[in-house]
Structure 1
């Protein structure tokens, strides 16, 4: 009987089919499918280009739409690297190839769990960008943005207006074999994935992959990354490109090149290679050996791959809580990537120790750790609330807003893997402690693959959960103020005007505030309101203040208007202004509409209303009329029942150039079935 079973197992191995167990429900410690879906969503938050926001993340919008103009090319697209906005070469190319590899290995899971459309969209955005960056066979642009300058800016990418240099380009005299190899791998895998979906696009990807690979092989050398990404050796990336071009074409020349590159690294004969790092932005040898273990008939590669995995299972340092610890920066990303590698190997071999390893590490990352928290943002009941990420934070440090990034996060950065706990399982949830809270393309790349594998083997019956907070929200307007100084002659007011425009972040113009006064006590003694003085004491936004003007002259109601004709505003605008009268009458603020509720402490004051293009969008004027606050605005693109006041408020906060809903159908029954926002705005603002 043993001989028969041995024969059957041998036959199974020879044809490369390993039966995969279906895990019991009691092994489902977490909703792995939910974590899987969220890990993909992170890339939509890091999307760069004019089409940012044309996905599920509606708090993102077009950004960096002039990338490449300094070299006369359209280099828009791609992805922001981490919580910054530079498009660094090596981590972007490596992440793209890793994500494509994940899809290649677990395509059935992506499809079954409904994540294929999202992942393919992301991969195409990567590949389209790489092809833009390769305008001819000896030129590959691979970094846009100056990291030193970029890191001095804290604010949403949509508001970043400085010129972004095309910082690095690979040429024959300044090679970048590593970025060329990784990008070629991503494009080659894409050609395989797309072969039956869009043969023309697949062929285009393969052509670019071959040309990029040949460029990298012909002109040898490492890319650059300022002080942020300093590559060690380019040969592993060229091997990575070789392997995937072999898989895509079947051309043995590419496998021969792998052997030649191995020899260059002194990995020849039967010698072992201490491959103890793991798959990441500067090191793809782990992926190389895992693929060679199944593609090559040279047993050396299987020995190297299995020694590598044994090191991670049994010999690497481990935190007290059980996390495998490779490096102090990006602690969680390494065991996440290693889990992906071992799950791929499990898929090929069926040896349970590889599955067990992956489960132990992913379970730690998802919450089975001393802190009882997930290190994936938005997953579980307890997760990092303050990832180091400018777009999700949404605050703008510097004028006009002068906000502080540690004031809170405006958005949940769903799916982002943070650096995580240290060697002692300690985690500091602080946006400024970026060793713990950093995120990145490279961090999530291995995680996506690992969670695809976990979903395949432990995700039976699981579905993604809802992700509230990624949809569109209207601009939030309000004012807060305090009495800075009062005297017998007048008042000095500290005022903050808020226009929290987050879907997407955008500067606004044509905003004003009105500060109302009841001058009855002056009228009774014949003092002319035109004799009052008004002055701006402080404003970074170059605020202007009007003279005292009549609102309801018969009832002695006047106002001053504060405007910002030379500036565009975002989030918070501070103004200190004064209103004085020096004609001997003691100032009495108790009857003034806008002053009556003020104290020496900041608080929201609805009696100082805000106007956009002369239409009130917040607050109460002396007539008592408020803007209408109720309506039923859905997120399905259709407004079923309209409160015109609320709709007007929504429309005023929107740029019709960004609206995609067309074909107006304005009925006479009080309902609007489909809205052309620009047209409706004209009707409402008449």
Structure 2
């Protein structure tokens, strides 16, 4: 009926997720110790803060899409109103305005209360609907009650920060993960044009950007003495605008233009680092600073007063590298930028170890890390979450500040880089996600013992293997010469890691195939039904039966294709496992795709690799781009070869068109298997 029944506001458990310091794509329902539960807001288990915050987001979604996608926008607004009403309905509080209806967070980013999120949702719903009741929910005053000095109590959401009309509030924080009052007053002030709202909005920016006159005068000399460059080269704000007495400004009207003529007064200002960076909190200092920059740009947008934009530009230049460490706090921004964000997906550890690997697997392009401490110092290591945490609230503020600063300070030469960010292939060269190692154990005229290790090191993206096949090529020519056949060969399984790991529930299956009359064969081993990441070993022996009554054995490994070039563990003087080396005369196939090794020439199958439009041996996003340009008859597109066109016919209908592009895209998105490419549509 349009009312909220339940809202899923969190998936995952903070401590569990953080302790699973491996690629999050690998964290699934099979890992009982690393489960990802879901949390729902209902009337029995309320999460009024979460519901209100999401209502605000959906309301903004409506404004963003109402002209281009009206149906989607209308649904966003409908859900925004429903979630707001649900948040109001489920909000509960005790004496002292302690909220008892907050959502579960497991101790990560705990919300202090929900009044600010409720106000944030209400101000945006007013923007969407024009209904004043939403503003009244925030600022309502009960004028039927008069207390000391004639003050009336606030009954709207402002009651959490201002008790009555005889008082006001000074906000030292910014719009951030726990408090969104900064944004509330940035929106309220131009709507109400009440002195109280403009005062709270502006005072915060004065506090962030300003210094008292003595500190401002000494700042350049202090910076020079410490051999640092000040983050701002403009005169500091050294006073606060006086909007009037607290008991008068709650209902006094003022316009943005009139603020400039107000008298000034002394007041408090936020501490600065020696290089002039505004320092609210050393844990994630850059996120708070970026949020203050965003608010400064919003103030300029609403008032036409650029007083704080120059300060914001200097702060952003500090973040972008004009600081004592010459270190941008934006990952990938330059060779000297912070490069070890506290982010398990980017780090890509396989060992649950934040120190391994030392160099992160992926570049988390554009992520804002925590930033410097009060002395302008920063430590760039993965496990230090104080200096190198990254999170959505960091980048939300950062992107907003960049947008505002580009609006006010941008120049025509500020153009996006082409082909950015670079592909991992262009940065790392040939990327090998699957590997195979092998070694030889005991060997004589009776048998050859082989240990094979397959390695799933996939990271684009990391994923479990569902089916893997390995082929070991050998010859029974000596058996045929002596009147024996393939039936006289025995495969002995000495070790199966998959079987051991699953208590026998899964095991490697195998078959022996003779593919020509000369006696050339392969042993095909199949790992299936068990998802795994990392390495898996299988040890087998090829054994020829006794040749005659004299118990003569005639097994000869020297003519075996996959045996050539491998040393035995006895020759090396090490164990069979220690003798493992990467080896490419054994082939490996993942989900039907040939990913490793070279087969003998006469054992190679159809050369068609469906989806490989550019014929580079791999199916990747570049094939989608090339085929799209070919289908669109782009004259500048790289030529598609005859083999490329055969590879491109992924739905096997004799045509190369959008259906084939869609098929490759679905494969890359892991919606279909490689074996489904090249099948009739």
Q: TM-score range by the shorter chain?
A: 0.5 to 0.7
Within a 5 Å distance, the mapping from 1:263-282 to structure 2 comes to 263-269=159-165, 271-282=167-178
2:83 corresponds to which residue? 212
Within a 5 Å distance, the mapping from 1:39-188 to structure 2 comes to 136-137=3-4, 139-154=6-21, 156=23, 158-162=25-29, 164-171=36-43, 173-188=44-59
In structure 2, relative to structure 1, the CA distance for the partners of 1:322 and 1:598 (3 Å cut) is farther
In structure 2, relative to structure 1, the CA distance for the partners of 1:414 and 1:519 (3 Å cut) is same
TM-score after normalising by structure 1: 0.65
1:622 matched to 2:600: yes
Distance 1:608 1:500 in 2: 19
1:516 corresponds to which residue? 473
Within a 5 Å distance, the mapping from 1:576-595 to structure 2 comes to 576-579=538-541, 592-595=560-563
Distance 1:642 1:442 in 2: 47
Alpha-carbon contact 2:496-2:538 (below 8 Å) kept: yes
Deviates more, 1:151-160 or 1:239-248: 151-160
CA distances 1:385-413 after superposition (whole Å, capped 9, x unpaired): 44343444566669xxx999637655433
Q: Displacement, 1:564?
A: 0.7
Alpha-carbon contact 1:536-1:543 (below 8 Å) kept: no
In structure 2, relative to structure 1, the CA distance for the partners of 1:558 and 1:433 (3 Å cut) is farther
2:530 corresponds to which residue? 567
In structure 2, relative to structure 1, the CA distance for the partners of 1:321 and 1:534 (3 Å cut) is farther
Deviates more, 1:674-683 or 1:573-582: 674-683
Alpha-carbon contact 1:665-1:673 (below 8 Å) kept: no
Alpha-carbon contact 1:481-1:494 (below 8 Å) kept: yes
Unaligned runs of 5+ in 2: 30-34, 92-100, 140-155, 212-268, 547-551, 568-577, 617-622, 631-638, 665-671
2:277 to 323, 327, 331: 323
Distance 1:549 1:183 in 2: 59
Q: Displacement, 1:284?
A: 0.6
Alpha-carbon contact 1:516-1:593 (below 8 Å) kept: yes
Within a 5 Å distance, the mapping from 1:374-389 to structure 2 comes to 374-389=328-343
CA distances 1:82-133 after superposition (whole Å, capped 9, x unpaired): xxxxxxxxxxxxxxxxxxxxxxxxxxxxxxxxxxxxxxxxxxxxxxxxxxxx
Within a 5 Å distance, the mapping from 1:72-471 to structure 2 comes to 136-137=3-4, 139-154=6-21, 156=23, 158-162=25-29, 164-171=36-43, 173-220=44-91, 221-259=101-139, 260-269=156-165, 271-313=167-209, 314=211, 315-393=269-347, 406=357, 409-461=360-412, 462-465=414-417, 466-468=419-421
1:39 corresponds to which residue? none
Q: Displacement, 1:272?
A: 4.4
1:493 corresponds to which residue? 451
Q: Displacement, 1:454?
A: 1.6
Query: SS of 2:528's equivalent?
Result: coil
Distance 2:600 2:652 in 1: 40
1:597 corresponds to which residue? 565
Query: SS of 1:210's equivalent?
Result: helix
In structure 2, relative to structure 1, the CA distance for the partners of 1:634 and 1:266 (3 Å cut) is closer
TM-score after normalising by structure 2: 0.66
Distance 2:37 2:677 in 1: 43
Q: Displacement, 1:224?
A: 2.6
In structure 2, relative to structure 1, the CA distance for the partners of 1:366 and 1:580 (3 Å cut) is same
1:631 corresponds to which residue? 615
Query: SS of 1:332's equivalent?
Result: helix
Alpha-carbon contact 2:449-2:540 (below 8 Å) kept: yes
Higher relative contact order (Cα pairs below 8 Å, separated by 6+ residues) = 1
Q: Pairwise CA RMSD of aligned residues? A: 4.4
In structure 2, relative to structure 1, the CA distance for the partners of 1:319 and 1:609 (3 Å cut) is farther
Distance 1:182 1:684 in 2: 47
Query: SS of 1:635's equivalent?
Result: helix
Alpha-carbon contact 1:243-1:254 (below 8 Å) kept: yes
Distance 1:176 1:615 in 2: 47
1:533 corresponds to which residue? 492
Distance 1:268 1:242 in 2: 20
Alpha-carbon contact 1:481-1:598 (below 8 Å) kept: no
Deviates more, 1:227-236 or 1:423-432: 423-432
In structure 2, relative to structure 1, the CA distance for the partners of 1:424 and 1:527 (3 Å cut) is farther
CA distances 1:486-526 after superposition (whole Å, capped 9, x unpaired): 56564442523447372x55444342111233566788889
Distance 1:532 1:381 in 2: 54
In structure 2, relative to structure 1, the CA distance for the partners of 1:295 and 1:568 (3 Å cut) is same
Query: SS of 1:406's equivalent?
Result: coil
1:554 to 505, 510, 518: 518
Q: Displacement, 1:276?
A: 0.9
Query: SS of 1:258's equivalent?
Result: helix
